[in-house]
Amino acid sequence: MKHLTLAFALAATTLSACAHAQTAPAVPARATPAAPSAEALAAVRARLPQDEIIYFVLPDRFENGDPSNDRGGLSGGPLQTGFDPTHKGFFHGGDLRGLINRLDYIQGLGATAIWLAPVFKNKPVQGGPGEESAGYHGYWVTDFTTIDPHFGTEDDFRELVNAAHARGMKVYMDIIANHTADVITYTEGAAENFPYRSIADYPDTAYTPVVPAAERDVKVPAWLNDPRWYHNRGNTLFRNESSIMGDFVGLDDLATENPRVIEGFIEIFGSWIDRFGIDGFRIDTARHVNPEFWQAFNPAMLERARARGIPNFHIFGEVAIEEINPGALARFTRVDRYPAVLDFPFQSAIRAVVAGNQSPALFERLFSGDALYEGGEPTALQLPTFLGNHDMGRIGTFIRQANPQASDAEQLARLRLANALMLTLRGVPTIYYGDEQGFVGDGNDQAAREDMFPSRTASYNDNDLVGTDATTAVSNFDTSHPLYRTIAELSAIRRAHPALTRGRQQLRTWSDDPGLFSVSRFDPESGREYILAFNTSNQPIRANMIVERGSSRFTALSGPCPATARVPGSVTVSLEPFGYMICAAEPTE
C-alpha cells in the first residue's frame, strides 16, 4: 500500500474506501437502439456549446467490443494489419462497439458530449524499417469518407450517434484537413528524409512527387491521389512559411490554398454532417493551415449544420501553444474565423499552479485575455479547457514529475483540485479518458495513450495509478474510483447551475505565492452570485475574499462554505491543503 501523510487524511479516507473496488462491470450484450425521439434530439441540439462537458477518447484504447475487427479485415502480422496489443504504437483492439457498450460509464461521469479521435480509414502502418507504427490514433487518413475497419462500420458509427443522442449526449468528430497519410514519395528519395525547401529558393518545384504504384488509388475521394494538390516541399520546420506548407513529420501536406482542396474538404466533412447528424468538429493541426482555408471552411460547416437542423454545431481548433498567451490563441478566432479553439493557455496555467507550485496570479494573466477573442468574453465561455491530452501527456504525469516525493493522497488531492478548477471556471471542461481512473503515463504521445480495457502493453502495466491499487492490466471502468466520483459530483453541480456554464466570471483574489485563488460567477438570468475558492498550497489557509455586498448568506454546493458574510462585501474562507469550495449566495428578498 502507498504511504499516506496526515495533511491529506481526508483524501486518504476516501482512497482506502475505494482502493479495492476494482470490479469491472460486465460488457452488456449487443443491442441496437432505436433512433432518438424527436423531442430528445431537439433537446440535445438546443444546448449551447458552453453547456457541455466533453469526454475525449481514443477509440482504440477505450474498450474492445468486437474482437473480430481487431485486424481491420487485413491478414498477416502486425506490419500488415497494424494490430499488436503488446506494442504502444500499434492497434490494441478498441472500437466503436466498445464505446456503445460503455455509454453508461461515460454518462455516469457527467459527460454530455463525446469527442472521438479520428475514426476515418487510416494507413495501417507507416514509418521506416524498425520505426514502424500504426494508425490506431486516426491521424493518418487515406479514406476520409468512411470508418476505419479496425473501429467497425458506418452502421456502428450511426448506432453510436443515435445511442448518444437518445441519452442526451452529443458526438464530436476529430477531423484533419492539413495532411493525409504518408503516401507520396519523391524521385530524390523517401519524403520523410527531406528538409524543407522554401519558395524563395525554389519558387516552382521543390521536390518531384511520385505515388508508389501499390498506393496509386489508396486515397478517397479520388482527387486526393493527385500530387498536384500537395505542397511537396519537404518536412516542416514549424516556423515561417514551412509551418503552413511543410510536411508534418513526413505526412503529405495538402495545398489548402487551392480552391479545389477547399471545395473538396467542404464536401467531405459536410457529408458527415448530412449522413450522421453529428454535433461538432475538433480540428487537428489548425495552425498549420492557411487562414483563407478556414475563412471559407468554418462558415460553410456551420451553414451545413444549420441546414441539417443543428443550430449549435461546435467547431474548435487545435492551436498548440506552450505559454500563457491568450493573444496568440485569440488570433485564430479573429483572422481564421474559428468559433472556438482549444484553450492551451488554460492547460499551461493549471500545470504551472497545481503541478508546478507557482502563484495562482497566473490565472489573472490567463483570464484577462478573454476580451481578446472575437466576440470577447462570451466566446471565451465556448473554449474547451483541458488538463492534459494524447499529445502532451496527462495531468497526473505532470503532477508526479513535478512532485516526485508526494504521497498518493497528495497526488489525489492535487488532481481533485485540478478537476475542480476545470469544472467550475469559464470554458467547456474536457476530460481526457483515463484521468478519472488515476492514469499516470510515463510521458507524452504514445506513453499517454493507455488502455482502459485489460492491457497487454508492459510499459503501461508497470505504471503506478493514483487513488487505486489497480494497474492497466485489468479493466479500469471503476465508478467508485475517488476521481470518477469527484468528477461526477462536480459535473452534476456544473450542469445544475447555469452560472457555471454561461455565467459571467469575475476574479476576486489571488495570492503571490501558492494559496488562495477565488472567483465569483453570476447566474445569466437572475444575477445570483456563486463564489468559488481554491487553495493551491500544501498548507491550510484562512483568508478573506471579496463578494457582492448584497450576498450575505450562502448555501454550500461543495466544500466548507461560510454560512454568512463576515461583513458586507467580504467572506472568510477556510480550506484544507489543495481544497476547494463552491457556494451559492441565497437570493435576497
Query: Do residues 299 and 343 lie in contact, with contact meaning Cβ atoms separated by under 8 Å?
Result: no
Question: Which positions ≥6 away from 494 have C-beta within 8 Å?
Answer: 53, 110, 423, 424, 429, 500, 501
Q: What are phi and psi of 69, to 5 degrees?
A: -105, 10
The phi, psi pair for 400, rounded to 5°, reads -70, -40
Spell 72-105 as b/e; 16+ CB within 10 A means b. beeeeebeebbbbbebbbbbbbbbbbbbbbbbeb
CB 534 within 8 A of CB 556: no
Largest CA distance in the chain: 79
Give the span between the Cα atoms of 339 and 375, in whole angstroms.
9
Tell me which residue has cell 483563407: 292
Amino acid at 237: L
Tell me, yes or no, if 263 is annotated catalytic. Answer: no
Rounded distance between C-alpha atoms, residue 373 and residue 186, angstroms: 41
Q: What is the DSSP letter of 500?
A: G
Write down the catalytic residue from 51, 156, 318, 336.
318
Q: What stretch of H or E contains 179?
A: strand 179-180
The rounded distance, in Å, linking the Cα atoms of 489 and 416 is 11
d(CA 92, CA 136): 8
> In whole angstroms, what is the distance from residue 89 CA to residue 133 CA?
5
Which helix (H) or strand (E) element contains residue 302? helix 291-307
Alpha-helical segments (H) within 351-463: 361-367, 377-380, 395-402, 408-424, 458-461
Dihedral class, residue 127 (left if φ above 0, else alpha if ψ from -120 to 50, else beta): left
Please say whether the beta carbons of 4 and 12 come within 8 A.
yes
Grid cell for residue 201: 529558393
For residue 49, the 8-state DSSP code is G
| β-strand pairing of 314-317 with 529-535 | unpaired
CA distance 116 to 453: 17
Q: Whole-angstrom Cα distance, residue 342 to residue 383?
A: 6
Residue 318 is among the residues annotated as catalytic for this protein = yes
Catalytic-labelled residue, pool 51, 84, 252, 284: 284
Q: Which residues are the active-site residues?
A: 284, 318
